[in-house]
Amino acid sequence: MPMYEYQLRGQGGGVTAGQIAAGSLAEAATMVRNQGAGYLLDISPTKGDGKSLLERIRTFSIDFGPGPKDVFTFTNQLAVMIKAGIDVRGATESIAEQVENPKFRKILVAIREDLESGKPFSEALAKHPKVFSSLYVNMVRASEMSGNFGHMLERISAYLHQQIETRSMIIGAMVYPIIIATMAISTTIFLLTFVLPKFTTLFAGKEDLLPMPTTVLLAISAFLRGYWYVVVAVVAAVVGGFLYFIRTPFGCKWWDLTKLRLPLLKRVFRALYITRSLQTMGEMVNAGVPMLETIRITAEVSGNTFFRQMWMAVHKSVKGGKQIAGPLVRHGLLPGNVVQMISAGEESGKLAEVLTDVADFYAQELKNVIKAVTAMIEPLMIVLMGVLVGFIAMSIILPIFKMSQLVK
């Protein structure tokens, strides 16, 4: 019979480790919980029996996968069918027949075949980590241990829907500023390459009378018209170099720090990372996922190097038998009142409820912050566009007035 290693945190805060023999991971987790000696931190097969949970998930990969909306639709439909009494194999087969995305249909067929061979649903999902995240797989595995599969699918569906809404909200907030910025750049290029050259003959021979702004704009106009390919190449090189730089370890860390310090936008990013982290952790604690695995996955999905470091410090602290709040205070990325509430929830045994409440609060706070920042950015972009176009217009008109006065 396979052996499983587990870690328990007792009522006094101490961590105990042990091994237990069981027919499956779900059975082992149930047996450990029934001992009543504390709450489960981590459980995985022993080294002789296989890899750890996270290593199993990372072993598998696919080249391409469907988007979050496809996964959300599948989860929502599966939850409804499971609650209607249809078994998971039949429900997966039925959904696969209706899926339009061919890659997703192929994945669902593979999952159905794994189910037919007797594998658990979570194990079948774990073979496709680029489609079904470690959070998704672990919540399904927890539901297999506890027996509330249909209810857990509803929780996963609600979580996915909230994540999609947040993503759409952020993208929607970026659309208007991007449109304004594109219009400003396009208008400037049009004025410099098509309008300003019409006045070149008028200003010819009178260069000494032209003000400095006009002289500079004429030089820029001539350069754009004569060496536009150089400008395109430089812009492409700068954009490509920046994208490559932020993918390097140092560049990624610098960019993550910059996002936390950018005026206006830092409020959006900070609220986003807090919301994502606490929602993930709250859902997994509520699902009964072992605490160490919960914290590890929270670190992975946080989306920022410094938040990831903070959660991994929490992971190390909890593994050593200490509380969650200590590393949170030292890193200073979470507001003090949030850390206090998490600490109180941990001491009272109501951590799941506290995390859910705080995550809901910050989800609403994220919406408010996005609205406020968008409301400030929009007029700033309009004013910037007006100043830019006005500067070019005045640089053209002022020399004309000056020359007309000399003629008089």
Q: How far apart are CA 276 and CA 162, in angstroms?
A: 10
Domain ranges of the chain: 3-50, 57-161, 166-408
Length of the chain: 408
This prediction's pTM: 0.69
The answer to whether residues 135 and 19 touch, using CB atoms and an 8 Å cutoff, is no
What pLDDT score was predicted for residue 54?
A: 44
What pLDDT score was predicted for residue 242?
A: 94
Query: CATH top-level class for 57-161?
Result: mainly alpha
What pLDDT score was predicted for residue 244?
A: 94
Whether the domain at 57-161 and the domain at 166-408 fall into the same CATH topology? yes
What pLDDT score was predicted for residue 396?
A: 79
Q: First CA to last CA across the chain, in angstroms? A: 105
The DSSP bridge pattern shows strands 15-21 and 3-9 to be antiparallel
What pLDDT score was predicted for residue 406?
A: 59
Mean pLDDT in consecutive groups of 10 residues from the start of the chain, 408 residues = 71 70 69 67 60 42 64 89 85 86 89 88 88 85 77 85 83 81 85 81 72 84 88 93 92 92 85 86 82 87 89 89 84 87 84 84 84 82 84 80 64
What pLDDT score was predicted for residue 61?
A: 37
Q: How far apart are CA 39 and CA 21, in angstroms?
A: 19
Q: Which residues pair with 43 in a beta bridge?
A: 6
What pLDDT score was predicted for residue 63?
A: 41
Within a 10 A sphere around the Cβ of 230, how many other Cβ atoms? Answer: 11
Q: Per CATH, is 166-408 categorized as 1.20.81.30?
A: yes
Tokens (6 digits) for 91: 């429900």
